Amino acid sequence: MSTPDLNLLVHLDVLLAEGSVARAARRLRLSPSAMSRGLARLRETTGDPLLVRAGRGLVPTPRALELRERVSQLVRDGEAVLRPAETLDLKQLVRLFTLRTSEGFVENFGPDLIGRVGEEAPGVRLCFLQKPDKDSTLLRDGLVDLETGVVGKTAAPELRVQALFRDHAIGVVRLGHPLSQGEVTPSRYAAGRHISVSRQGLERGDVDEALHHLGLVREIATIVGGFSTALALARASDLIASVPKRHIGILRAGMHSFPLPVATPEFTVSLLWHPRMDADPAHRWLRGHVKAVCAALR
């Protein structure tokens, strides 16, 4: 079955509105012969004469009358689809955005983001989901609007990526911990009992690699899957947590933080979205607020 020429819908809409081949041709800036050929094709496609002679003019057939409103609406909808997006009316916007974020993002950046969004667009709600892995299937399937995190090698190549901020690891202990007093040297740091944070359950990471180059090994007392768990344990014990400085700033309130005595790589926390949402005005507006919130919180 051949695909119908959708341009004929425009021809039919104008013909039914004007009731005249000549007037329809002038409106579409076509020659009368070209318009007549369009009507012939419409008759062949629909299997109906559509417009028939009545005296000196043309009148629509019952089939044409049946199609008139539907065709007019289809043409208007098509024009709306192809028209540039209208100015976004934030006060009237009603929408739910779903954000899949790494642990600590909501606690640290969520209050400011929710406040900004609610002030400008009271009909917009934000749904935050935990991000247990780097699988981008939910973004591709349209179930998630935005993701945050460190972009890995497995990220889908079609995703749009915008850097939010640079971050690095620091040490965190409870107030009154021995490391909260005096200089934290590599040997003092390594001598303590540590918490390893790994979603995959790995015992060793960048900190251990840096200590290894100095001939030091730290004792891993426990392995946990998230930063909030690591900080909760460190807050209630003499264990040492090594966590991102900016990403979980709020979560370590009331604890003692210190620079790691070894060099570990910096990393970039980014915002990710699917290209289908790239030009959406509301989506673009939300992306701007996420970036602004992350830039404001140092």
- Which one-letter DSSP state was computed for residue 88? P
Contacts of 249 (CB under 8 A, 6+ apart): 108, 297
Overall fold of domain 169-265:
D-Maltodextrin-Binding Protein; domain 2 (3.40.190)
Cross-strand partners of 219 = 193
pLDDT at 85: 60
Coil, helix or strand at residue 94: coil
> Tokens 């996420």 map to which residue?
290
pLDDT at 92: 93
pLDDT at 72: 82
Kindly report the CATH number that applies to the domain delimited by 92-167+268-296.
3.40.190.10
Tens-level pLDDT at each residue, the chain (298 residues): 466 678 888 888 888 888 888 888 888 889 989 989 988 998 988 899 988 988 777 888 999 888 888 888 888 777 767 766 667 899 999 999 999 998 889 999 999 999 999 999 999 999 999 887 877 888 888 889 999 988 876 666 788 999 999 999 999 999 999 999 999 999 999 999 999 998 888 888 999 999 999 999 999 999 998 899 999 999 999 999 999 999 888 899 999 999 999 999 999 999 999 888 888 899 999 999 999 999 987 6
Q: Where are the domains of the chain?
A: 7-82, 92-167+268-296, 169-265
pLDDT at 159: 87
Write the secondary structure of the chain as one string of H (helix), E (strand) and C (coil). Answer: CCCCCCHHHHHHHHHHHHCCHHHHHHHHCCCHHHHHHHHHHHHHHHCCCCEEEECCEEEECHHHHHHHHHHHHHHHHHHHHHCCCCCCCHHHCCEEEEEEECCCHHHHHHHHHHHHHHHHCCCEEEEEEECCCCCCHHHHCCCCCEEEECCCCCCCCCCEEEEEEEECEEEEECCCCHHHCCCCCHHHHHHCEEEEECCCCCCCCHHHHHHHHCCCCCEEEEEECCHHHHHHHHHCCCCEEEEECCCCCHHHCCCEEEECCCCCCCEEEEEEECHHHCCCHHHHHHHHHHHHHHHHCC
Asked whether this chain's domains 7-82 and 92-167+268-296 adopt the same fold, the reply is no
Is the entire prediction scored with pTM above 0.75? no
Overall fold of domain 7-82:
Arc Repressor Mutant, subunit A (1.10.10)
pLDDT at 97: 96
CB 249 within 8 A of CB 108: yes
- Which one-letter DSSP state was computed for residue 30? -
User: What token pair was written down for 49?
Assistant: 């004469």
* Residue type present at position 3: T
